[in-house]
Amino acid sequence: MPAEVTDATFADEVLGSDIPVLVDFWAEWCGPCHKLNPILEDLAGEYAGRLRIVKLDADANPETVRAYNVMAMPTLAVFRKGEVIGQLVGMRAKFTLRNELDEILSRES
């Protein structure tokens, strides 16, 4: 199950992580965000040790949303060593998301 992060914990949990982190910027009112949840839960298990998946409630954490110019839900941002190395906006099928994540993670750091 993806962990929750907040404005207060973002720097430690995401920017300071030793492994890449996918941040799911979501909102309670966002239907596609809820459809994405079980996909992210499955992928969290598949990518264990290679990619950490966390969730950030966009409505409750406006500082982080503003800092990364998140304009639509869901937005998935992949961070490595404190930098965004990939960003995906919108709902995706599991196989599509897996392919996109593999491509992002294969990029040079």
What are the catalytic residues?
Answer: 30, 33
Q: Where are the beta strands (DSSP E) in the chain?
A: 3-5, 21-26, 52-57, 75-80, 83-89
Nearest partner of 21 among 31, 29, 10, judged by Cα:
10
∠ Cα 101 94 15 (to 5°): 35
